[in-house]
Each structure stands twice: as C-alpha cells, then as structure tokens.
Structure 1
Amino acid sequence: MKILILGGTGEARELANRLVALGHDVTSSLAGRTQTPKLPEGGLRMGKFGGIPGLSAYLRAAHIDRLVDATHPYAGQISINASAAAQAAGVPLVRYMRPQWTQQVGDDWITVETTAEAAAALPPSADVLLTTGHAWIEQFLERDDCHFVVRLIETPTMPMPRYATLLQTRPPYSLSDEIALMEREEITHLVTKNSGGAQTSAKLEAARRLGVKVIMIARPAYGPALEVASLDEAIAALKLDA
C-alpha cells in the first residue's frame, strides 16, 4: 500500500519506520524548516505542496492509497489543507494527534486562543519563559515592558532585543533542568502551546512546583479526519489489509 505521511515529528518518524517494516511503500513529507532533521525510513519529500490543489494533485499523481497527518498539533495550514485535499482526491485521511496536556491540581493556567491574546495577557515586568516556537514571536517581543527567555531549537531570523535572551536547545528537557532554568531566570510566567507529549512536559511540572503562572495557547481546529491518539491506533485506522 502507498502511504504518504505528513511528518516532522518524532511520532511521524516512528510511524514511517513501523509501516516500512510492515512492507508498505511509505513517503514522508517534511516542510524543511528544521536544518538537520532525523530522517525516517522509506521515501522522503521536502518542501511545500502548493496548497490544497497541489497536495490533491500529488495524491492522485503518486497513486497514494492512504494519507496520514502526523504533523505538529500547531502545524497550522498543512493540516487544514490535508483534510480538504484528501476529500478532493478521494484518499482516506488519518490524523495522529498526541493527547493534550490537562490542568492538574496546583496549576495556575490561563488558556487563550491566539499568540496575540497570550502576549496581551502578560502583566508588565513579567519574567517570561517563551516556548511557543518561531511563529509570531515578534508579537511577544513587542512587549518591551517584560523580560523574555526565548527557547528555540533553530536560530531565529530576527535579532533578540535587549530585554530578551535566546536559549537555543533541543528537547527532551528534564524536570531538574527546567526547575533550575526557572529559578535562575526568576521566571514568573511560562507561555507555551498545548503540544502534548512527554518530551517537553517537564516545564509544566516545574511551573506547578515553583508557582509559575502558565499562559497556554489552545490548539487550533482542523477539518474532518479520522483522528487517533496513538501509533497503534493509527496503524489500525489505516486498514492496511483492506
């Protein structure tokens, strides 16, 4: 069976490896934002498709039998395009979506819908650990009345202002390291997206223990798809013996 995986996550890479081991013809599509990505088994496609028309045309031309959206929960437009393109091409779509983080006893969360709302929710003089990725960080850095520790994997395209410190690291992060970071930088607010998963969840436990307020950006809504929360469910949902 020919399967296209919209990837870029560790789960997408693991899914591709498992499907290749099962004998399927798998191509993983990566957006190309990460400079040195870990590559999955099987075929590889880099770059954009050209919107819904481009993706639906690719699905037809490559004779794809199944489409899997295993992108990051905040990948945005590609997940919207995947839903529409799959319908247009008549290709079954399975969306792997890791479970969201949920608020625990002792958490002090504010949930907002957008990065603009998150930036506006910060009080003056806040010391902020910003872990939202590259997109829209300029909205936060307009807040020159706050101090930011901006944690990113890749080098940002924009220079950091005097009231922001760049911390360029790659997950996973341990609880002890997250506590040490927040204590060293005297963090009062953590701004993050509800990405889910274990690799970056320690920051939430650290915030809980230290009384750091969390501004959580909710997940966007995407189009219709058969949505699963584990790789075993994803493989079952693909109906590979159909």
Structure 2
Amino acid sequence: MVEVRRVLVLGGTAEARELAARLGGEPAVHVISSLAGRVRDPRLPDGEVRIGGFGGADGLAAWLRAERIDEVVDATHPFAAAMTANAVRACALAGLPLLVLRRPGWEPEPHWHLVDSLDEAAAALPGLGERIFLSTGRQGVHRFAHLDLRFLVRAVDPPEPPLPPRTELLLARGPFAFDDEVALLREHRIDVLVTKDSGGPMTRPKLDAARLLGVAVVLVRRPPEPPVPVVETVAAAVARLRHAG
C-alpha cells in the first residue's frame, strides 16, 4: 500500500493553483489548499480547499497536527508577510518542513522610485504628479487618504474607507493586456503608477505601459524572505517535494 503524504498549500496565487493541479496528479500526494478568504469570489484551485484563517501561528500548528499534515508549501502573495511569518512559526512548533514558493521580483528600472512601504509611497507622491493610478490591492488604500490628489484605485473588491477625497474606483480582476493598460493610463491621464513588486508576467503590462507613456513608477519593495528554503517556480517546488518524499 502506497503511503499518501498530506501537503498543505497556503495559496491565493496563480502559482498556488498550478501547484495544487500538479500535485493533484501525484498518486502518493493529497493536497489541501488554504485561502485566507479576503476575496469575495476567489479563483479556486483543484482538489480540497479550506477557506478562512487559522487563528495565528498557534492555531495553524494545532490544525497541522490535527490534520496529520506532512509538509507545508507557502505559495501566498509576496506581500503576505504575516501569513508567511505564521507559517514559519507554526511549522517550527509542529516539527514540519516548510517550503516557500515565491515568483521572482521585477528587476528595477532607472526611472522607478523604490520605497519600503505604502506610507513611503504616499510621502513620495506630492512631488511626482497629480493623477495617481493606485494598483496595490484593496488593503492599504487608507494610507493615501490624507492626500488631495486624484486617484484611480483598481482592485478586485472595494477597499474599506477612508479613501482619498478624490478617488475613482475601478473593480476589475487581472490579468490585464498591455494595450488595455496603455489605454487606461491615457484615458485617465495618469502621472504616477503606484504598485507593489509582485513579480511575474501577469501584472507586468502596467509597468511596460508606464514606460511607454513616460509615467512615473513608485514601486514598493518586498518584505524579506523567511529563513527557510525558497523556490521560484512550480516545477522547482514539485521537484523538491518529490525528492523529500
């Protein structure tokens, strides 16, 4: 009888969905994907799915033990720092291996303004332009609420107030094509693009459109990676999990 390994994938990204699909085809692996539940209508991965929080690192550790999980893969968004920190501590408490799957970040370009937080991004804006395309997701928009600039905010779900006084909200889910991003920046006469270093090709077109149109870019750097093994591709994650098994 083949022993089945139980793998928890902390997901919410395209890489997490691809990993769940790849591992789902492995006869000796049972995958459970976990989503935080912050998006109203998330794209669900293949296989078993759990939605909602665990109650911090201690709650996650207890869940890992109760569900007899053998390995954990953190394939969350590069800016999900709190979830990653909880995963590191929970796996240490439960005595389980943790692998981080993180797509590589973008190579900075000379005209980009690199900052370490949304607060720093907000502080940089008054000297850069008047019409801001804020593409940082629904969380953290309140960091810009004190600025009397024109904001176009794009998110999957509406952000919670407070919002900047002059805000236009665009609810949309990517990926977005290059030509569409160019048209959007032109239509709204955008001066500055504010975004996070999410990395990968899916959200890259807005940066390429900004370069074409001479739009300034304020890019929020990623938080540091945790002191655990990190891979950049789904193929590398699958290979590492196979080797571990």
Pick the TM interval, shorter chain: over 0.9
**Shift in CA distance, 6/234, structure 1 to aligned 2, threshold 3 Å:** same
State how many pairs are aligned.
239
Partner of 1:2: 6
Partner of 2:15: 11
Q: What TM-score comes out, normalization by structure 2 length?
A: 0.93
Q: What TM-score comes out, normalization by structure 1 length?
A: 0.94
RMSD: 1.5
Partner of 1:38: 43
Taking the aligned partners of 1:122 and 1:161, their CA distance within structure 2 comes to: 13
Taking the aligned partners of 2:207 and 2:31, their CA distance within structure 1 comes to: 35
The alpha-carbon deviation at position 41 of structure 1 amounts to: 1.8
Whether the aligned pair in 1 keeps the contact of 2:141 and 2:159 (CA below 8 Å) is no
- Counterparts in 2 of 1:1-242, with a 5 A limit? 1-23=5-27, 24-104=29-109, 107-123=110-126, 126-144=130-148, 146-158=149-161, 162-239=165-242, 242=245
Taking the aligned partners of 2:143 and 2:232, their CA distance within structure 1 comes to: 31
Partner secondary structure for residue 2 of structure 1: strand
The alpha-carbon deviation at position 158 of structure 1 amounts to: 2.6
**Shift in CA distance, 38/233, structure 1 to aligned 2, threshold 3 Å:** same
The alpha-carbon deviation at position 138 of structure 1 amounts to: 0.8
Stretches (4+) displaced over 6 A:
none
**Amino acid paired to 1:6:** L
Taking the aligned partners of 1:216 and 1:191, their CA distance within structure 2 comes to: 6
The alpha-carbon deviation at position 237 of structure 1 amounts to: 1.6
Give 5+ residue unaligned stretches, structure 1: none
**Amino acid paired to 1:46:** I
Residues 188-228 of structure 1 show CA distances to partners (whole Å, capped at 9, x for unaligned) of 11000000111110011111111111100000124222100
Taking the aligned partners of 1:134 and 1:211, their CA distance within structure 2 comes to: 26
Report the more deviating stretch, 93-102 or 152-161: 152-161
